[in-house]
Amino acid sequence: MDFKTLGQKVIYQIYPKSFYDSNNDGIGDLRGIIDKIDYIKKLNIDMIWFNPFFVSPQNDNGYDIEDYRRIDPRFGTMADFEELVVKLRDINVDVMLDMVLNHCSTEHTWFQKALAGDTYYQDFFYLRPGKDGSCPNNWQSKFGGPAWSRFGDTDLYYLHLYDETQADLDWHNPHVRREMINVVNFWRKKGVHGFRFDVINVTGKDTVFVDSTNIEQEKRLYTDTPVVHDYLKELNAQSFGQDPASITVGEMSSTTIKNSIAYTKPDNHELTMTFAFHHLKTDYEDGKKWSKAPFDFEALKHYLLDWQEEITAGGGWQALFWNNHDQPWALNRFGDASKYRVKSAEMMAAAIHLMRGTPYIYMGEELGMIDPSYQEMDQYVDVEAHNAYQQLLAEGHTTEEAFAIIHSKARDNSRVPMHWDDTQYAGFSQVEPWLLPTDQERINVTRELNQGGIFDFYQQLIHLRKHEDLVSIGDIQSILRDDKQVLAYVRTLPERTDQLVVFNNFYATETTVTVPAEYRQPGEVVITNDKRTLNELPKQLTLQSYETLAFRTNA
């Protein structure tokens, strides 16, 4: 698929467990998504990325897969899925499924057969003897604690970079890769054209497990290794690459610009685009996720703009996003969720949607949803949050300090049920849901469609992406790089003399910028979240609190 077509597309993410509960068991399901087709149609999006709904013990909310080819009964049936694909196709929306291929549940038949002594399946996993009476090496799980657990009653350990119930699969084994190819092809036959590959760039672990010296060096031992590119080329050639309409995105943990270009450059035949998360780590104190600190605007700005410019120059393609199921709401982190909720939500949307790439909207983002107002740890469900809380206490934090950190960074913040209306359970269910909603009395679909502005602003951005080539395929160049509160850039096309100049004020304080002389030209405002009319960009441009302004020059 060419970049212009990709640049016109917008992808919506649905976390099925939290979208809509059709059978009142407290858990969202596939029929619930079917019930909301009319709302999906209003979104004017092109594809939906669904988080996993395969059979799973749900120790990591479905990312611990027990069977890659079956729908978990709590979400519905294969018939429900097939109906959903047809109903979405009827409104010109394609399906993207989440492929969790780096690891599987320890309940998966492969792991169970390995435990039972089947050597064929033991080779599916990284099984190693201990060292000095402990783990094979000192690697740490991303969910806390050692990355190794004892393999049954043997003297071996198995690797799990994530939860101990998520055993890493050994991609060096061609039989493992063949199984993964078969999984992708199974869903292709069901009419699926999109695939999101979970943490796919950590599949290239070395076969020799040396100790690490620090966390950053440790990541390099298993992240973005050269063999990952070989794996992706093979997967592409034998599955989705045979479908010209396919769209793929790799979740790339701690990746680099160089690798992101290589993963997505069309001639390499690997992936369509990548998710990179560096911009979402700019409120990590000393690089630690479980900390509470204001975001570093200079770092945020440079990550966003450097990646945009360098990936464009390198011929790659990016996924553009603020939110997903693994992040607390960006509005709480980089905007103002209280005094300027609407305006900062619109500014942040424009900042991303007017860049080069394919934008993703996480369900509820178009309503301006914010972190839940939880008061205690028992209201959180996620294993990562509870592990982190215990670790914070062990490090000497008080219960109040530890909870405040969890409250600012927990993944459950964005996993709360979709707010459909202002009733007790937000119109998501008639019974208490698996995770409680809050703030639904003022932030919900019914209210937003009737009297809100954020949803309509997203629709304006989507319209621009589909109808304005400067947005969908234009090159990008940053301006005002040293400004302390404005992120600004210009979109251009070689064959056109007009330009789209974009300004985003990331703070509540008014600010004035000096517009470079080459952009002080007659033109028109293309989109803004402020009551502003301009026929020409002035030398001194004053931006109001959280204002975004996109101006097309006529020259």
Just list the catalytic residues.
198, 251
The candidate with the shortest Cα–Cα distance to 102, out of 250, 242, 241, 257, is: 250
**Amino acid at the residue 527:** I
* 3-class DSSP state of 3: helix
Taking the C-alpha atoms of residue 465 and residue 43, their distance in angstroms, rounded to an integer, is 13
* Contact present, 528 and 547 (Cβ < 8 Å): yes
Calculate the dihedral angle through the C-alpha atoms of 94, 437, 420, 456, rounding to the nearest 10 degrees. Answer: -70
Among the listed residues 172, 176, 168, 107, the one whose alpha carbon sits nearest the alpha carbon of residue 136: 168
Contacts 24+ apart (CB under 8 A), 52-61: 52/97, 52/98, 52/100, 53/16, 53/81, 56/105, 57/105, 57/107, 57/165, 59/105, 59/163, 59/165, 59/166, 59/383, 60/162, 60/163, 60/165, 60/166, 60/383, 60/384, 61/17, 61/325, 61/382, 61/415
H or E element in which residue 247 lies: strand 247-251
Contact between 551 and 527 under an 8 Å Cβ cutoff? The reply is: no
3-state secondary structure of 70: strand
**What is the chain's percent helix, strand, coil content, to nearest 5?**
35, 20, 45
Is the Cβ–Cβ distance between 49 and 99 less than 8 Å?
no
362: number of Cβ within 10 Å: 21
Q: Cβ distance 31 to 379 under 8 Å?
A: no
Give the DSSP H/E element, type plus range, for residue 216: helix 215-220
List 370's β-bridge partners, or say none: none
Partners of residue 248 on adjacent β-strands: 195
Rounded Cα gap, residues 100 and 98, in angstroms: 6
Amino acid letter for position 475: D
* C-beta of residue 31 within 8 angstroms of C-beta of residue 22: yes
Distance of CA 401 to the CA centre of its chain: 27
